[in-house]
Structure 1
Amino acid sequence: MVHTSSSSAIGRGFTLSVLRVCIYSSHDSRALLLLLPATRTAWQSTGRLSSARYYSSPSSSSSAAATASPKQPQEIAVPLSVSPDAANPPASTRPPPLDVPVRAPETSTFSHLFSVGKAYLTFYKTGLGQIFTNMQLVRALPAATTTRSHLLLRERFQHDIRRLPLFGLLMFVCGEFTPLVVLAVPSTVPYTCRIPAHASKLQRRLEAQRDTARRKLLGDYDDVNATIITTRIMADVVARSLGLVSPHWERIGGAPGPLALLRVRKRLHHLAEDDDLLVQAGGAPALEPEEVRLAANDRGVDVTGRTDDELRGVLERWLRVTTVTDNVEERERRMLVLLSRSTENWP
Structure 2
Amino acid sequence: MSQMTKATTAFVAAAAATAAGGGRAAAIRLTAVRPFTIHKAFYSTSPSQPDPRYDSLINGPLSTLPAPLDIPAPRKPGESLFGYYFKLGKGYLSFYKTGLKNAAWVNPRLAGPVMARWRDDRGYAGIVQNKWITRSDLQLLKRNQHDFRRIPLFAILFTICGEFTPFLVAIFSNIVPITCRIPTQIEYDRKKRERRITASFESFLPSTSINRPVEGLDKLSWKEKVHCSTVVGRHSGLWPSRVLPLPFGFVLHKRLARYEVYIATDDLLIAKGGGVMRLSPPELEIACVDRGIKVLGKSEQQLRADLQRWLTDSKKGVTIWERWLTLPTS
State whether TM-score is above 0.5.
Answer: yes
Q: Which structure would you say has the larger RCO, counting Cα contacts within 8 Å and 6 or more residues apart?
A: 1
Q: Please, what TM-score do these two structures have when normalized by structure 2?
A: 0.77
Out of 275, 293, 303, the position equivalent to 2:285 is 293
| Corresponding letter in the other structure for 2:117 | A
Q: How does 1:57-68 map to 2 (within 5 A)?
A: none
The structure 1 residue matched to 2:246, chosen from 255, 263, 280, is: 255
Question: In the alignment, is the contact (CA less than 8 A) between 2:135 and 2:266 conserved in 1?
Answer: yes
Change (3 A) 1:14 1:224: closer
Between the aligned partners of 2:310 and 2:172, the Cα distance in structure 1 is 33
Identity %: 31
- Give the equivalent residue in structure 1 for 2:233: 243
Alignment of 1:194 with 2:168, yes or no, is no
After TM superposition, the structure 1 stretch with the greater mean CA deviation from structure 2, 278-287 or 189-198, is: 278-287
Structure 2 counterparts to residues 50-199 of structure 1, below 5 A: 85-102=56-73, 103-131=75-103, 132-141=105-114, 143-144=117-118, 145=127, 146-199=133-186
Amino acid in structure 1 at the alignment position of 2:227: V
Q: Which amino acid is the alignment partner of residue 335 of structure 1?
A: I
- What CA distance in whole angstroms lies between the structure 2 residues aligned with 1:342 and 1:308? 22
**The one of 258, 275, 281 aligned to 1:283:** 275
5+ residue gaps, structure 1: 22-81, 326-330
The alignment of Structure 1 onto Structure 2 pairs a total of residues equal to 279
Cα distance, 1:223 vs. partner? 8.4
Structure 1 residues 247 and 254: alpha-carbon distance in aligned structure 2, compared to 1, 3 A threshold? farther
Of 331, 335, 339, which residue of structure 1 is paired with 2:324? 339
Mapped partners of 2:86, 2:212: distance in 1: 62
- Tell me if structure 2 keeps the 8 A contact 1:214–1:241: no
Q: CA deviation at 1:15?
A: 2.0
Give the Cα–Cα distance (whole angstroms) in 1 for the partners of residues 189 and 142 of structure 2.
20
AA aligned to 1:249 is W
**Structure 1 residue 171: deviation in Å?**
0.9
The residue number in structure 1 matching 2:25 is 19
- Range with greater deviation from structure 2 (304-313 or 208-217): 208-217
* Residue type of the alignment partner of 2:268: D
CA deviation vs aligned residue, 1:133-185 (integer Å, no higher than 9, x gap)? 11221124361451111011011011111000111111111111111222221
Question: What's the RMSD between the two structures over aligned residues?
Answer: 2.8
Deviation per residue, 1:30-81 (Å, 9 max, x gap): xxxxxxxxxxxxxxxxxxxxxxxxxxxxxxxxxxxxxxxxxxxxxxxxxxxx
Instruction: Give me the whole-angstrom Cα distance separating, in 2, the residues matched to 1:180 and 1:140.
Output: 37
Q: Is 1:239–1:245's contact at 8 Å kept on the other side of the alignment?
A: yes
Q: How far, CA to CA, are the matches of 1:224 and 1:312 in structure 2? A: 23
Rg larger for: 1
Of the structure 1 ranges 300-309 and 281-290, higher mean CA displacement relative to structure 2 is found in 281-290
| Distance in structure 1 (CA, Å) of the matches to 2:246 and 2:237 | 9
Q: In 2, Cα distance between the equivalents of 1:279 and 1:227?
A: 25
Q: CA deviation at 1:298?
A: 0.6
C-alpha displacement of 1:342 = 4.1
* Aligned partner of residue 150 in structure 2, secondary structure: helix
